[in-house]
Chains A and B, each alone.
Chain A
Amino acid sequence: MDLKLSSVSHYYGETQVLRDITLDIPSGQIVCIVGPSGCGKSTLLRMLGGLERPSEGRVLQMGDAPAGCLNPLTYIFQDFALLPWRSVRGNVALVLEGHGLGKARREAIIADVLARTKLTDFADALPKQLSGGMKQRVAIARALAVNPAVMLMDEPLSALDSQTRELLMDDLVALWTRQPFTAVYVTHNLAEAVRLGHKIVVLSRRPGELREVVELDMPLAERRHGDPVLEAQQQHLWGLMRDEAAAADAELIDG
């Protein structure tokens, strides 16, 4: 299942935040969206998952979601959004309830996704007992449980320290390598974008427009921290964003 944005524009009151964005999200690829703060990249992600309506243009789903998919468009949030009163297992169970799955089937799915995210030993822990990295792994497990067609990730690593971020990037690469998934990955961190993106979309500052789409052919599993090709790409992206970021930084919030 592919997703397609067709000349999408968006306004908050008088302010235009997105201008004429047309973009394809092909299945089996990770598309990273980067841009200076306030460029509307999170808004774009909310539109892709149906949490917000664009003022103009259309968000299209091309083809049907594969069979066995409980929630085709599934988010992973920056601040994890785990229910603090439910255990790790309970948080994953939440999204499986109400789909008419049998108890045995649910248990099997939970056991599988916890194993894939290396959380089996922590199934009964409460979120307050977990580190930030573990919390985000629970959120990833929860997203995998509904077998999504597209994962919508809103700065999923931004709330974590840089060591944990490296570890989780490795985890994401391993997950993708084992079973390629489609994802839209919003970030302001260019290192994450060049490590995880098959396609990197650069937005300009507000109103966000498509500035450039960079395609990276190197397989995810071969990308390493400090790889010269990736470094060069990151420099190129930074060159595109630098002035935009500086200008965005100097703007008044409601200006």
Chain B
Amino acid sequence: MAEMTDVNAREVIFRGGGFQPGTRRGVGLAVFVVLILLAEWGTRSGFISPLTLPRPSDVLLTFQELYQSGMLFKHLGPSLTRLAVGALIGASLGIGIGVLIGLFSLVRAGLVPLVAAIFPIPKIALLPLFVIWFGIDEASKYALIAFGTFTPTVVATYAAVDNVDRVLIRMGQSFGLGWWSIVSKIVVPGAMPGILSGLRISLTIAIILLVAAEMLGAEYGIGAYILQAGSLYDLERLFAGVVILSLLGVAVSAAVAFVERRVLRWRV
């Protein structure tokens, strides 16, 4: 072997960088701030006409007015109630039936094609039908939101139950645990990660349906407020309504993230 000399020595080139998602705090917020500042500057300088986009500061003023006149809560109250009741019914039915599909092949054979058939129906199209079934009042809105939350929750739940480690179920059986113990102590906790990530999607869908239902027939509610503003071409109020929806979406996602952190501490 030849003697190694310094002349031949070269640093080995590093090529292992990248492809590592990390956390960057504040960047998301910065994107929002930059976009809003850009809009503000554009509308003030006349680069963007007021017909195209309202001035962000005006939207803020409208929002303030809405808050001070008490109308904000008059609209937000019914909307939040509809969202909570509808999503609660839809998600609990979805999780319940999803677990049953996951556990029993008979239920699976019977219901999976049905779920596949109703999944792609735009639920908004069924609102007139729900109005006939449940009346023009709150019940039809609850039904629409519940139905819209139900389908994605069912699919996420039975897929999550399918993914529970079979070894753990065999373990439960081998220690003589009863059927109910295996379901409640092994299957459901094991399916929790999948169920929660399904809820993230179905709750977002619930917000979309909430607005749709309120646009088609409600006196108060964020959807009604946005529809009113739209028909008057009042862009400031329209945008104020849209901002409320975005905040609602962020709040729901934060709530799910909070629950995930509490419930899924055990995850690697």
Contact = CB atoms under 8 A, between A and B. Distances in A.
A81 B177 contact: no
Interface in A32-89: 49, 51, 70-71, 73-75, 77, 79, 81, 83-86
B73 to A, nearest CB: 39
Interface on chain B toward A: helix, strand, loop, or mixed SS?
helix
Given A83-B186, A98-B181, A128 B167 contact: no
Contacts, number: 53
Nearest to B178: A98
B167 A77 contact: yes
Interface of A: 49, 51, 70-71, 73-75, 77, 79, 81, 83-86, 94-95, 97-98, 126-128, 142, 146
A71 B177 CA distance: 10
B177 A95 contact: yes
B50 interface: no
Contacts of B192: 85
Contact of B174 (A51, A83, A84, A127): A51
Given A77-B167, A79-B167, A97 B174 contact: no
Interface string B225-241: 00000000000000000
Contact of B171 (A77, A98, A127): A77
Interface in B49-86: none
B170 A128 contact: no
A85 B189 contact: yes
Given A84-B268, A97-B181, 12 more contacts: A51-B170, A74-B175, A75-B174, A77-B170, A81-B170, A83-B189, A85-B190, A85-B266, A86-B266, A95-B175, A128-B268, A146-B175
Nearest to A96: B175
B46 interface: no
A126 B181 contact: no
Top 10 A-B pairs, shortest CB-CB distance:
A81-B171, A85-B266, A95-B175, A75-B174, A128-B268, A84-B266, A81-B167, A71-B176, A85-B189, A126-B266
A175 to B, nearest CB: 19
Nearest to B192: A85
Contacts of A127: 266
Interface in B173-191: 173-178, 181, 185-186, 189-190
Contacts of B189: 83, 85
B10 interface: no
Contacts of B167: 77, 79, 81
A126 B189 CA distance: 15
A49 B171 CA distance: 11
A83 B168 contact: yes
Contacts of A81: 165, 167-168, 170-171
A71 B175 CA distance: 6
A98 B183 CA distance: 14
A83 B185 CA distance: 9
Nearest to A126: B266
A128 B268 CA distance: 6
30 contacts: A51-B174, A71-B176, A74-B174, A74-B175, A75-B171, A75-B174, A77-B170, A77-B171, A79-B167, A81-B167, A83-B168, A83-B185, A83-B186, A83-B190, A84-B266, A84-B267, A84-B268, A85-B189, A85-B190, A85-B266, A86-B266, A94-B177, A95-B175, A95-B177, A98-B177, A98-B181, A126-B265, A126-B266, A127-B266, A146-B175
Nearest to A78: B167
